Amino acid sequence: MHKITLSVIVIIIFVITVVLFLKPNFLESSYSSSIFGFNSESKISRGLLKQDNKAPVISFNSPVSNFCRLKSICQFVSGEAVVISVDVNDNVAVKKVDIYTDDVMQKSFTQSPYEFVWNSRTATNGAHTVKIVAIDTSNNKTTLSTNIEVRN
Protein backbone atom coordinates (compact mmCIF):
# COMPACT_ATOMS: atom_id res chain seq x y z
CA MET A 1 0.00 0.00 0.00
CA HIS A 2 2.84 2.37 0.91
CA LYS A 3 4.56 1.73 -2.44
CA ILE A 4 1.38 2.53 -4.37
CA THR A 5 0.89 5.86 -2.57
CA LEU A 6 4.50 6.85 -3.18
CA SER A 7 4.19 5.88 -6.86
CA VAL A 8 1.06 8.01 -7.26
CA ILE A 9 2.79 11.01 -5.67
CA VAL A 10 5.80 10.62 -7.99
CA ILE A 11 3.51 10.45 -11.04
CA ILE A 12 1.58 13.56 -9.96
CA ILE A 13 4.82 15.51 -9.43
CA PHE A 14 6.06 14.35 -12.85
CA VAL A 15 2.84 15.44 -14.58
CA ILE A 16 2.88 18.86 -12.92
CA THR A 17 6.54 19.36 -13.88
CA VAL A 18 5.86 18.41 -17.51
CA VAL A 19 2.83 20.73 -17.71
CA LEU A 20 4.79 23.65 -16.27
CA PHE A 21 7.67 23.01 -18.66
CA LEU A 22 5.52 22.68 -21.77
CA LYS A 23 3.08 25.46 -20.94
CA PRO A 24 4.52 27.75 -18.25
CA ASN A 25 1.65 30.26 -18.47
CA PHE A 26 -1.10 27.73 -17.90
CA LEU A 27 -1.96 29.43 -14.61
CA GLU A 28 -2.49 32.77 -16.35
CA SER A 29 -5.98 33.44 -17.58
CA SER A 30 -8.33 36.31 -18.25
CA TYR A 31 -11.85 36.53 -17.00
CA SER A 32 -14.73 38.86 -17.44
CA SER A 33 -17.62 39.25 -15.07
CA SER A 34 -20.75 41.28 -14.81
CA ILE A 35 -22.04 42.49 -11.45
CA PHE A 36 -25.16 44.67 -11.26
CA GLY A 37 -24.81 45.46 -14.97
CA PHE A 38 -21.22 46.74 -14.71
CA ASN A 39 -18.64 44.72 -16.58
CA SER A 40 -15.16 44.20 -15.28
CA GLU A 41 -12.20 42.41 -16.72
CA SER A 42 -9.08 41.35 -14.89
CA LYS A 43 -6.20 38.99 -15.37
CA ILE A 44 -5.10 36.32 -12.94
CA SER A 45 -1.45 35.37 -13.18
CA ARG A 46 -0.07 32.63 -10.96
CA GLY A 47 -2.53 33.53 -8.22
CA LEU A 48 -1.97 37.32 -8.36
CA LEU A 49 -4.77 39.61 -9.50
CA LYS A 50 -3.65 42.21 -12.04
CA GLN A 51 -5.97 45.23 -11.98
CA ASP A 52 -6.72 47.73 -14.74
CA ASN A 53 -5.04 50.97 -13.70
CA LYS A 54 -5.42 52.96 -16.94
CA ALA A 55 -7.99 55.75 -16.81
CA PRO A 56 -10.32 56.46 -19.75
CA VAL A 57 -9.33 59.01 -22.40
CA ILE A 58 -11.83 61.79 -23.21
CA SER A 59 -11.88 64.00 -26.30
CA PHE A 60 -14.39 66.70 -27.18
CA ASN A 61 -16.17 66.39 -30.52
CA SER A 62 -18.17 69.53 -29.86
CA PRO A 63 -17.94 72.25 -28.82
CA VAL A 64 -14.49 72.53 -30.34
CA SER A 65 -12.55 75.11 -32.31
CA ASN A 66 -8.94 76.17 -32.77
CA PHE A 67 -9.61 78.90 -30.21
CA CYS A 68 -10.16 76.19 -27.55
CA ARG A 69 -6.54 75.18 -27.70
CA LEU A 70 -5.30 78.73 -27.23
CA LYS A 71 -7.55 80.25 -24.58
CA SER A 72 -9.47 79.17 -21.51
CA ILE A 73 -12.71 80.37 -23.11
CA CYS A 74 -13.49 77.82 -25.79
CA GLN A 75 -16.04 79.75 -27.79
CA PHE A 76 -19.05 81.94 -27.31
CA VAL A 77 -22.68 81.26 -27.99
CA SER A 78 -25.65 83.57 -28.23
CA GLY A 79 -29.20 82.33 -27.78
CA GLU A 80 -28.64 78.85 -29.16
CA ALA A 81 -28.57 75.23 -28.18
CA VAL A 82 -25.06 73.84 -27.70
CA VAL A 83 -24.32 70.24 -28.58
CA ILE A 84 -21.86 68.77 -26.10
CA SER A 85 -20.42 65.60 -27.61
CA VAL A 86 -17.41 63.56 -26.48
CA ASP A 87 -15.61 60.36 -27.34
CA VAL A 88 -14.42 58.22 -24.43
CA ASN A 89 -12.04 55.30 -24.88
CA ASP A 90 -10.68 52.84 -22.35
CA ASN A 91 -8.37 49.84 -22.51
CA VAL A 92 -11.06 47.61 -20.93
CA ALA A 93 -14.51 49.21 -20.87
CA VAL A 94 -16.25 52.47 -19.97
CA LYS A 95 -18.73 52.18 -17.08
CA LYS A 96 -20.24 55.66 -17.21
CA VAL A 97 -19.80 59.18 -18.54
CA ASP A 98 -21.31 62.23 -16.82
CA ILE A 99 -21.75 65.66 -18.42
CA TYR A 100 -21.87 68.71 -16.15
CA THR A 101 -22.44 72.40 -16.78
CA ASP A 102 -21.24 74.65 -13.96
CA ASP A 103 -20.90 71.60 -11.65
CA VAL A 104 -24.54 70.56 -12.16
CA MET A 105 -24.91 67.10 -13.68
CA GLN A 106 -26.93 67.34 -16.86
CA LYS A 107 -26.78 63.78 -18.14
CA SER A 108 -25.26 60.43 -17.23
CA PHE A 109 -24.52 57.74 -19.82
CA THR A 110 -23.66 54.06 -19.60
CA GLN A 111 -23.09 53.66 -23.33
CA SER A 112 -22.15 55.80 -26.31
CA PRO A 113 -22.97 58.11 -27.96
CA TYR A 114 -22.10 60.57 -25.20
CA GLU A 115 -24.01 63.64 -26.35
CA PHE A 116 -26.14 66.27 -24.64
CA VAL A 117 -27.85 69.42 -25.95
CA TRP A 118 -27.42 72.33 -23.53
CA ASN A 119 -29.91 75.19 -23.80
CA SER A 120 -27.68 78.25 -23.48
CA ARG A 121 -30.71 80.57 -23.79
CA THR A 122 -31.51 79.91 -20.14
CA ALA A 123 -27.93 80.53 -18.97
CA THR A 124 -26.63 83.85 -17.65
CA ASN A 125 -24.16 85.84 -19.70
CA GLY A 126 -20.53 85.02 -18.99
CA ALA A 127 -18.28 81.99 -18.82
CA HIS A 128 -19.76 78.56 -18.10
CA THR A 129 -17.80 75.36 -17.50
CA VAL A 130 -18.60 72.14 -19.29
CA LYS A 131 -17.08 69.19 -17.45
CA ILE A 132 -16.95 65.56 -18.52
CA VAL A 133 -16.27 62.78 -16.00
CA ALA A 134 -15.55 59.30 -17.37
CA ILE A 135 -15.25 56.21 -15.16
CA ASP A 136 -14.15 52.79 -16.38
CA THR A 137 -15.17 49.38 -15.04
CA SER A 138 -12.23 49.42 -12.59
CA ASN A 139 -13.36 52.84 -11.26
CA ASN A 140 -10.44 54.72 -12.83
CA LYS A 141 -11.64 58.29 -13.42
CA THR A 142 -10.77 61.05 -15.89
CA THR A 143 -12.13 64.59 -15.87
CA LEU A 144 -11.94 67.04 -18.78
CA SER A 145 -13.45 70.51 -18.91
CA THR A 146 -13.75 73.45 -21.19
CA ASN A 147 -15.39 76.87 -20.93
CA ILE A 148 -18.10 78.36 -23.09
CA GLU A 149 -18.98 82.03 -22.94
CA VAL A 150 -22.66 82.90 -23.23
CA ARG A 151 -23.59 86.24 -24.78
CA ASN A 152 -27.38 86.33 -24.94
Give the model's confidence band at 13: pLDDT under 50 very low, under 70 low, under 90 confident, else very high: confident
- Sequence spans of domains, the chain: 2-50, 57-150
DSSP 8-state assignment for residue 143 = E
d(CA 140, CA 101): 22
User: What DSSP element (H or E) covers 92?
Assistant: none
> Residue 33: which pLDDT band, with cuts at 50, 70 and 90?
very low
* CATH number of the 57-150 domain: 2.60.40.10
pLDDT at 139 over 90: yes
Is 60 exceeded by the pLDDT of residue 39?
no
Residue 71 has pLDDT above 60, yes or no: no
Per residue in 78-129, pLDDT tens?
777 888 999 999 999 999 999 999 999 999 999 999 999 999 888 999 989 9
Spatial contact of 120 and 81, defined as CB atoms under 8 Å apart: yes
User: pTM value?
Assistant: 0.63
